[in-house]
């Protein structure tokens, strides 16, 4: 009989565990240590009531998964989305552990989410849901324990509600319990666009390392939310020709390049707005366009065994977490498509969250130039560390990043020892 707790084949958790075990094989981990790093430290699932505007009560389900804290406090976003499931949260928490280690942050990985469509709630209902969920997970989060941040479907306003709820429960103001907050309550400049800016920095480092200037390259971006729209704008400013973008409503394609600034101004109606030039396309169409760079900034599992053979991009940059499944990647590797993996490519967000956490602890704030200088330094070091492992071990950038990140967590675990 199949194990009912096993991850579904091709799911985000299946992909994350497959990647982990392949790296663990190369690292020669003992069975015990392999099990420690494959297992979450803590999983909290809560079913909680929320009063709606009409006075009715709805019960929602939320999760907070803490994967590993060997290198420091736990860090990871909060996602509000209709498709949030526990296995997905487990996968994302594990990826956060490796991501923080790859770029040298003193954090472990966590993730959280609520199964809800935030667009279907009023502002009052969204606030009620956020505050109740925060109260439910308040027993395991904190500025020295686990520091949430925005993710898909959440933003600075929601982080403000989380920070205030936690603070009210403990009796004093605790700005450091979350990152991605508004500037007025201890946020940092540069956090909102940090992941998209990080995609640019990584693309630039890769272009320089491979002697292929970014200027003039064609780009398609799947996902025109916070990450994808910022990445598109930064790449366009660098001289790339962004020929296609898409979101849940569909996409736009124009071979001579889209005006990304105008599209960002029209979001979230840009794809269907009658004044927008370019051809209407689907998300599936965008993934198969003949472009130099494909930025994946939407959901997990977008490229898989069903469509990978149709991908024509030469380089894929994973602005989202887990957008390529393991079977899909095997097909892409056979086609000589280069992939810059999520745990390196989209680390800009958690890096600037780390900066916000540091600034809050120091009660001293950096300007935008300082934030970007430090962001570039960490991403540049992370890219070249991964590239060096890739050359030395003769493995893909993804395997190199996994070997580097997991290896650093292994070292921390061995150094700390196992508490009896």
Peptide bond preceding 268 in cis form (omega within 30 of 0): yes
**DSSP track, 267-283:** TTSTTT-TT--SEEE-H
Catalytic position from the list 111, 145, 310, 414: 111
Question: Distance between CA atoms of 167 and 77, rounded to whole angstroms?
Answer: 19
111 included as an active-site residue: yes
Helix 397-416 / helix 86-102 crossing angle, nearest 10 deg: 80
Beta bridge pairs of residue 245 = 221, 252
- The CA distances from residue 401 to 63, 116, 377, in Å, are 27, 33, 17
Beta bridge pairs of residue 64 = 44, 112
Q: Are 59 and 130 in contact (CB under 8 A)?
A: no
Q: Are 102 and 68 in contact (CB under 8 A)?
A: no
Question: Distance between CA atoms of 130 and 154, rounded to whole angstroms?
Answer: 10
Residue with tokens 């709606």, as numbered in its chain: 52
180: left (phi over 0), alpha (psi -120 to 50) or beta: left
Q: Are 95 and 321 in contact (CB under 8 A)?
A: yes
- The b-or-e profile of 87-108 (16+ CB within 10 A means b, else e) is bbbbbbbbbbbbbbbbbbbebb
Vertex 99 angle, CA 96 and 105, to 5°: 100
**DSSP track, 130-188:** HHHHHHHHTTT-BTTTEEEEE-TT--HHHHHHHHHHHHHHHTS--GGG-SS--GGGT--
Question: Distance between CA atoms of 70 and 152, rounded to whole angstroms?
Answer: 26
Active site residues: 111
């Amino acid at each position: 009989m199949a194990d009912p707790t096993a991850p579904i084949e091709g799911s985000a958790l299946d992909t994350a565990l497959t990647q982990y075990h392949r790296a663990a094989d190369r690292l020669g981990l003992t069975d015990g240590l392999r099990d420690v790093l494959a297992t979450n430290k803590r999983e909290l699932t809560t079913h909680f009531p929320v009063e709606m505007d009409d006075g009715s009560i709805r019960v929602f389900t939320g999760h907070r998964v803490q994967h590993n804290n060997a290198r420091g406090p736990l860090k990871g976003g909060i996602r509000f989305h209709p498709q949030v499931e526990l296995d997905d949260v487990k996968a994302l928490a594990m990826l956060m552990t490796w991501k923080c280690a790859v770029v040298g942050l003193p954090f472990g990985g966590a993730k959280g989410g609520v199964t809800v469509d935030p667009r279907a709630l009023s502002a009052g209902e969204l606030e009620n849901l956020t505050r109740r969920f925060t109260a439910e997970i308040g027993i395991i989060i904190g500025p020295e324990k686990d520091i949430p941040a925005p993710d898909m479907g959440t933003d600075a306003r929601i982080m403000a509600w989380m920070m205030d709820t936690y603070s009210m429960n403990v009796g004093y103001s605790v700005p450091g319990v979350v990152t991605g907050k508004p500037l007025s309550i201890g946020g940092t400049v540069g956090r909102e666009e940090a992941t998209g800016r990080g995609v640019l920095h990584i693309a630039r480092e890769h272009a320089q390392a491979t002697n292929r200037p970014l200027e003039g390259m064609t780009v398609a971006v799947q996902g025109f939310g916070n990450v994808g729209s910022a990445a598109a704008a930064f790449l366009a400013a660098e001289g790339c020709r962004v020929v296609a973008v898409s979101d849940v409503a569909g996409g736009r394609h124009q071979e001579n390049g889209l005006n990304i600034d105008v599209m960002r101004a029209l979001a979230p109606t840009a794809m269907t707005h009658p004044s927008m030039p370019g051809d209407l396309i689907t998300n599936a169409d965008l993934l198969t366009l003949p472009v130099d760079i494909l930025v994946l900034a939407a959901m997990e599992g977008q490229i898989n065994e069903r469509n990978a053979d149709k991908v024509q991009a030469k380089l894929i940059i994973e602005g989202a977490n887990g957008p390529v499944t393991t079977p899909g990647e095997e097909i892409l590797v056979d086609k000589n498509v280069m992939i810059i993996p999520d745990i390196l490519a989209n680390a800009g967000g958690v890096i600037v969250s780390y900066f916000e956490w540091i600034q809050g602890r120091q009660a001293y704030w950096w300007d935008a130039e300082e934030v970007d200088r430090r962001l570039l330094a960490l991403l540049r070091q992370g890219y070249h560390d991964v590239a060096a492992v890739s050359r030395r071990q003769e493995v893909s950038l993804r395997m190199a990043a996994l070997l580097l990140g997991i290896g650093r967590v292994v070292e921390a675990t061995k150094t700390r020892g196992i508490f009896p």
